[in-house]
Structure 1
Amino acid sequence: MAPTTAKLENDEELRRLKDVNIDEAPARRQVRDSFKDIQLNLDHILFKTPEDGIKTKESYEVNSRGVEIFSKSWLPEASKPRALVCFCHGYGDTCTFFFEGIARRLALSGYGVFAMDYPGFGLSEGLHGYIPSFDLLVEDVIEHYSNIKENPEFSSLPSFLFGQSMGGAVSLKIHFKQPNAWTGAVLVAPMCKIADDLVPPPVVKHILIGLANVLPKHKLVPQKDLAEAAFRDLRKRKMTPYNIICYSGKPRLRTAVEMLRATQDIEQQLQKVSLPILILHGEADTMTDPSVSRELYKKAKSLDKKIVLYKDAYHSLLEGETDEMIIRVLSDIISWLDDHIALQAD
């Protein structure tokens, strides 16, 4: 089939699937199954990483709260993993699109990579984009990754958190609850504070907090175009609609309030961060505040901490930048992990 014809058919299928109501998990799973081959064949550098030499596994398991959680793993085929990398995805996102390419890179470097979709996101059960409690979400993630780390196959390995955007907030909350459980954390554009221009004025904020108690699932919070704010590379920005199970509607009221409270809580506890951390942030990020990443670096009591700020880069450092920048960020992450594996071995 000619590339132009294939693109037209892909666009038509995308338009058709965009009209499907994916508020609940069964519809999201059906949409993803019918579109995943198209997604993973997009002309994006992340999807050009070969799958050869990697064992992947997808699972659905009901957790202790009775919520069915989707998870995926990528393991080196020929050897035991050198360490575990446990991924915490960003707001609205899933571990089944762009992260596939990131996970492959890590697995080919010898790491066992584990990821899950939070309740209400991606392929996990729950109302799409709805976070009734940030703390419960964090507990769900702790439970899932604790089960993996307790597996005799992996229990002796170093383990790292890898948090992107809101996943950075999840990772830090996990660390506060488990201060000695992790070898280190990689935080990419961490949501330690929501950028000021994304937060409504104080009067509006108080009204929204009140409304969230009455209409928690309603979508009343205004929001600017996230793809435009997150993706600097225009060609890659055009690929964002292909992330069809990403939550792209206006934030639900309770979700917005929970994220705001979580970031305010984290901002007050930056000095409690004690594990080895690598913080990566684009200097032109308008979604999560790079100045708070600087503050995190400065206040964290970790003896082993590093921050890398990328000039002119936007929020989506690993998905929405030039190929050269994406390769650079991935290399920085893998080098840092390699160094910390070596430290563990000494």
Structure 2
Amino acid sequence: MHPFTYTKASDTREALDAGRRGGRYIAGGTTLVDLMRETVERPETLVDITGLPMRAVTATKRGGLRIGALVSMTEAAAHPQVRALYPVISQSLELSASAQLRNMATIGGNIMQRTRCTYFRDVTAACSKREPGSGCAAREGHNRAHAILGTSDHCVATHPSDVAVAFAALEATVHLLGPDGERHVPFAGFLLKPGSTPGREQSLRKGELITAVEIPALARPLKSGYLKVRDRQSYEFALTSAAVALHVRGGVIREAKVAAGGVGTVPWKLPAVEEHLVGERPSAALWTAAARTAADGARPLTHNRFKVELLQRTVERQLRIVGGTK
């Protein structure tokens, strides 16, 4: 680990001043400290933001929820309003990491976490995400866990967050505060596909701080849930996952929100699946037909071709769980 300075911000202004000067924000530190230990990240200054007032879960005027960036994963998953209104969020959090890590990690930090690609974390391997222009060792290497959607010639790494998949499905908004004031970014535009600049992973501007994630009000009744498929049942990242929310009224699907994880360079919204569902009556045949579109546009690699069918099966299964089979 390389030398660095540490400062604890006493208020938001102090944090923003330090961020503007190049300081890196840290709260739980469950990702950044690991990357520093492996010398993947070498920040000169860490800015501890744990004392800032961003620890509340509150209802919005329009009937949605605003989750503060410093709310821990455990707190968010257990919050009564989160569990009642958006079980897909609670389930995605509870299926993430270990209980100890969930107690430390924050919502803001979770969506900012960097890929678990072994080549990214091996500083001797070619990785354009870590070292621009150096190539992508995963493309010709062992790529079983890598992405099949949203990839480029420069990067095929998946985004590791589970709750980000739920946020993508629900079309959340990220609240940011920076030197130029507040702004709100749709979740779909917050996490960036690699393209030719894989090192730029979020649409943050210099010195900006995540203050909250807001979930919009959705039509009720709303059933939702999260399914995660992995090599083992605990402390493992997804091979595929599916976040589904359905509004059914009068026996017809009026609204559908679907996204997948473990298969994309970012949490992958599935508009083709959603369009196939809206206006239809729930049935086993509908779930199967809709799920067939889940892998549209996939570009599998040598070792992860199985993810195409696995993604389709995962989406179909979660549609059955949330929507029933009648």
- Output the TM-score relative to the length of structure 1: 0.26
Structure with a larger share of its residues in strand = 2
- Output the TM-score relative to the length of structure 2: 0.27
Structure with a larger share of its residues in helix = 1
